[in-house]
């Protein structure tokens, strides 16, 4: 009788364990069975929005469910990030995550209502958007070296446009200033578009600008490109060197990934990761995004989560050294 009772207990425990394991697996097999929302933390039209809509279309075709792109701009992306952090961890609310919102903002804003590391987890890297250092035609410098020399000869005289405190344009300039020992005066704007308008008009001298926004004006001659911000030259820029070729070790690209609320079932994260990696490898997707200045790059979920954490530490050091305050 004791043996039977013991065997029954062992069997019951085994069944319970298998049931617990089967739950998430069954959920993943059934996922998705309703529309998925991709939250974009910035307004329509930019790189994040373009990426979300193309990925959403391909995911919808593969999953057989609508994938809805929803823009939630405001507060430098913090409104959208907070919304996703507090959403159900079921894989039906996911978000585009540029480095500004998940790596810079958490160390720039001291009292956010969410913790990126605890409340979100990475799904995959999606791509990088190189920036390019451009000057208005009224600036005489034709190379990065000449710009550095001019900035050192006239400290604080040259101005640079940014899309606000903590924006990629701002951070790229602060890294440049720190590594070159130059002093440039920031002119912050509420967004990249109005900042670029004033550089084109000659009101502001310099801008670290996303390549997709700057390219038409570089080609028309309205802006002069001095250097790209990545580690490799960009073919679209037709021979423009990297800033790192003059300033060794310089790098300040925009990267974009996908996140989901923490505690989303691992099998669901894995399914999303596999689909994103499949889509990002498609030749037509790579070509369409490259035409927009977005260069696809995928990763494991764990590697993207790790990138968020390591980049937070990098930008924390830059923010502290430059004494950058949120607006």
pLDDT in tens, 252-306: 989 999 999 999 999 999 999 999 999 999 999 999 999 888 999 999 999 999 9
pLDDT in tens, 174-194: 999 999 999 999 999 988 889
pLDDT in tens, 221-230: 999 999 999 9
- Residue 15, pLDDT above cutoff 60: no
**Are 142 and 65 members of one domain?**
no
User: Which backbone phi and psi does 119 adopt, to 5 degrees?
Assistant: -100, -10
51 part of a folded domain? yes
16 part of a folded domain? no
Using an 8 Å Cβ cutoff, are 99 and 255 in contact?
A: yes
**Are 195 and 230 members of one domain?**
yes
Give the strands of the sheet with 67-71, arranged side by side: 67-71, 36-40, 93-98, 254-261, 120-129, 295-296
- Residue 141, pLDDT above cutoff 80: yes
Last residue of a domain, one of 245, 277, 293: 245
**Are 123 and 258 members of one domain?**
yes
**Are 262 and 122 members of one domain?**
yes
d(CA 44, CA 10): 57
**Are 264 and 241 members of one domain?**
no
- Residue 109, pLDDT above cutoff 80: yes
The total domain count for the chain is 2
Give me the pLDDT at residue 121, please. 96
User: Which backbone phi and psi does 251 adopt, to 5 degrees?
Assistant: -160, 130
**Are 143 and 234 members of one domain?**
yes
The pTM assigned to this predicted structure is: 0.85
Helix axis angle for 283-291 and 47-63, nearest 10°, is 160
pLDDT in tens, 27-67: 567 899 999 999 999 989 888 999 999 999 999 999 999 99
d(CA 265, CA 263): 6
The closest alpha carbon to 122, from 255, 21, 252, 28, belongs to: 255
Q: How much of the chain, in percent, has pLDDT values that exceed 90?
A: 77
Average pLDDT, the chain: 91
pLDDT in tens, 273-288: 999 999 999 999 999 9
**Are 136 and 230 members of one domain?**
yes
Tell me the pLDDT band of 152, cut-offs 50, 70 and 90: very high
- Residue 12, pLDDT above cutoff 60: no
- Residue 1, pLDDT above cutoff 50: no
Range of the domain at 315: 36-128+254-322
**Are 120 and 264 members of one domain?**
yes
When mean pLDDT is compared across 10-14, 63-67, 151-155, the lowest value belongs to 10-14
Q: 219 vs 50, 136, 147, 214, CA distance in Å?
A: 22, 13, 20, 9
- Residue 3, pLDDT above cutoff 50: no
- Residue 11, pLDDT above cutoff 60: no
d(CA 256, CA 262): 18
């Amino acid at each position: 009788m004791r043996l039977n009772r013991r065997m029954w207990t062992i069997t019951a425990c085994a069944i319970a364990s298998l049931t617990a394991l089967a739950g998430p697996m069954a959920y993943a097999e059934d996922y998705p069975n309703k529309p998925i929302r991709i939250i974009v933390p910035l307004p329509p039209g930019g790189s994040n929005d373009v990426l979300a809509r193309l990925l959403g279309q391909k995911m919808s075709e593969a999953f057989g469910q609508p994938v809805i792109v929803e823009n939630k701009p405001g507060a430098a992306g913090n409104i959208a990030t907070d919304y996703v952090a507090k959403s159900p961890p079921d894989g039906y609310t996911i978000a585009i995550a540029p480095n500004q919102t998940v790596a810079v903002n958490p160390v720039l804003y001291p009292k956010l209502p969410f913790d990126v590391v605890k409340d979100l987890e990475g799904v995959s890297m999606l791509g990088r958007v190189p920036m390019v250092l451009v000057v208005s035609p009224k600036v005489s410098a034709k190379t990065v070296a000449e710009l550095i020399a001019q900035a050192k000869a006239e400290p604080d005289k040259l101005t640079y446009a940014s899309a606000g405190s903590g924006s990629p344009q701002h951070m790229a300039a602060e890294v440049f200033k720190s590594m070159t020992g130059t002093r440039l005066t920031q002119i912050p704007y509420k967004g990249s578009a109005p900042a670029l308008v004033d550089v084109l008009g000659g009101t502001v001298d310099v801008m670290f600008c996303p390549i997709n926004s700057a390219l038409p004006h570089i080609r028309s001659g309205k802006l002069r490109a001095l250097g790209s911000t990545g580690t490799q030259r960009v073919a679209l820029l037709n021979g423009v060197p990297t800033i790192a070729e003059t300033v060794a070790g310089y790098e300040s690209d925009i990267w974009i990934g996908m996140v989901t609320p923490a505690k989303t079932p691992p099998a669901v994260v894995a399914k999303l990761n596999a689909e994103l990696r499949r889509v990002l490898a498609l030749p037509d997707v790579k070509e369409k995004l490259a035409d927009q200045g977005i260069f696809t790059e995928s990763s494991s979920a764990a590697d993207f989560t790790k990138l968020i954490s390591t980049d937070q530490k990098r930008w924390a050091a830059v923010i502290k050294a430059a004494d950058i305050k949120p607006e």
